[in-house]
A and B are shown apart, each in its own frame.
Chain A
Amino acid sequence: MTTATAPTLGSGPVAAIRAWAGLYATQMRIAILSQIQYRVSNYFYMIGMVAEPVIYLVVWSTVARQQGGEVGGFTPGEFAAYYIVWTLVRNMNIALTPYAWEERVRGGELSGMLLKPVHPIHLDLAGLAGWKAVVILLWLPIAAFLSLIFQPTLAISPIDVVVFLVAIWGAYFLRSMFLWLLGLVTFWTTRVGPVFSIFFTAELLLSGRLVPMSLMPDWAQQLAGYLPFRWTFSFPIEALIGKLPPDQLLGGLGMQLLWIAIGATLVAVSWQLAVRRFSAVGG
């Protein structure tokens, strides 16, 4: 693939940027073409995924109605908005699962990736970004259907939309960094399941995926402030549904940037250490 070698061949910043863009565009195109073939499979996946927020939505709307129309600052209509936006954010958040590393290492697929002249994380980032194009297309009718049924209340201003559009990509890159980092644990131990489970449980509870953060106890909210999770779920969602004032919108984007930088640094360092432990058996 000529575009893959371009980043190292380009001279000058313009050529380098063009080469990187070419690499990402090619990877995304391949992903779109391959994923569009599996529409039924992708739809199964998405319906399974939509079940989760619908359950939360029904439970919390029921609680809100029983409590006189509001709980934790959310009305049933606002819960509907929260969990419908959730479905898009969740899709945008899908990054390479850390479980994929076991197969990569054991099956020798990693050997091939190491031969390419770019860091393997770029291939993952670009490939999954392409899949998202397909997913968003499949998501639109689901979102329309959910909106029709659950009647969300939204108070959106233009700045909310702009911040949201940036924040969902920020969330994607942020979560990708940390899941990649988590996947690298595979280089040190083969019993990765429990480590991954702890991570995903913490994420579920402290990101706003399960419930809006305002419903969590104070100590959990404070704890979440020191962790990256909430910037991948609750921040983009609350940005779009009009729950955040302008300073928090910009502050949130700043926090995303900070955590992406931390994640990228950790990935760079850990990758150097991890790849030294890798001995190929085929591929």
Chain B
Amino acid sequence: MGPTQGRDALRGRDPLRPIRLFALFFRVGALNELQYRANLAVQLFESLLALGTGLAVLGLVFGQTTNLGGWSQSELLAVMGVHILMGGVIKTAIQPNMERLMTDVRQGTLDFILTKPEDAQVMVSVREFRIWQGVDIGVGAIVLVVAVAQLRGGIGVGVGLIFAGTLLLGAVMIYCFWLLLTTTAFWIVKMDELHELFEGIYQSGRWPVTIYPGWLRISLTFLVPIAFAVTVPAEALTSRLTVETLALAAAFAFGLLLLTRWFWRLGLRNYSGASA
């Protein structure tokens, strides 16, 4: 087997290769963070404080009213659970990778990725994991369990599966959104405030997007896919999800993946390296 064939075998022939890379980097990232176990306590504290604040806000709102835009307190608790859980996924796996990519583009160290015999987009997307941030995934899941227990009748297996599917679609869309924005770093080099911008906008997902005025609701659906990432999974849990919405979510996720791939390649062509 010549070197070219070997390269092909590495790149294209094995569809599971991105998943293996993902698992490998996850293990390295986990081992790295396991050195700093005290950070788990700090993260746990921060997550609980944030949860307490969120519950206090819900308490304040429902001290004044019995429903908000047609959502009851338990239903909004479910929205909050999805919001915390998805926030945990973003901070564990998506945002750290994108921030590293930004630094690499600015410093020219992206060269080291581009010279490796793997797909560059896969590589930049799976390199970093902050496992302690995963505490929010656990906290979100617990809030969800409490919320579902409060909902009349709980949920069946079918609803559970649809919920998991919408969560996955949501995570894919948020990943695409982050990568699209980060790819603009190939043109605009200083993007330090990007995570502030995203965190600010992400907070809007704490409430169902249906309460926002029309222009904002549309922006939070198609411009920043927070509706798909948080509200749609919560709709699945609270018997609000229609087949049309589900199909739209799947189609939009697929379209966004293609767009992101195209834009990433366009950006790469614009990358000139720094010192190399």
Contacts and interface: CB of A to CB of B under 8 A. Distances in A.
Interface of A: 38, 40-42, 44-45, 47-52, 54-55, 58-59, 62-63, 66-67, 71-72, 149, 191, 193-194, 197-198, 201, 204-205, 210-211, 215-217
A205 B65 contact: no
B49 A58 contact: no
A139 B197 CA distance: 15
Interface string B175-206: 00000000000001011111011111101101
Contact of A194 (B45, B69, B193, B203): B45
B212 interface: yes
Contacts of A49: 196, 200
B200 A41 contact: no
B206 A45 contact: no
Main secondary structure of the interface of B (DSSP, over half): helix
Contacts of A193: 42, 46
Contacts of A62: 68-69, 211
B68 A63 contact: yes
23 contacts: A38-B190, A44-B193, A44-B196, A45-B193, A45-B197, A47-B200, A47-B201, A52-B203, A54-B204, A54-B216, A55-B206, A58-B211, A59-B207, A62-B68, A63-B61, A63-B64, A66-B67, A67-B65, A149-B213, A191-B38, A194-B42, A201-B49, A217-B63
Contacts of B211: 58-59, 62
Main secondary structure of the interface of A (DSSP, over half): helix
Contact of B45 (A71, A197, A217): A197
Contacts of A47: 197, 200-201
Nearest to B42: A193
A67 B64 contact: yes
A44 B194 contact: yes
A191 B61 CA distance: 34
Given A48-B196, A215-B60, A197 B207 contact: no
B57 interface: yes
Contacts of B45: 194, 197
A19 to B, nearest CB: 35
B56 interface: yes
B53 interface: yes
A208 to B, nearest CB: 13
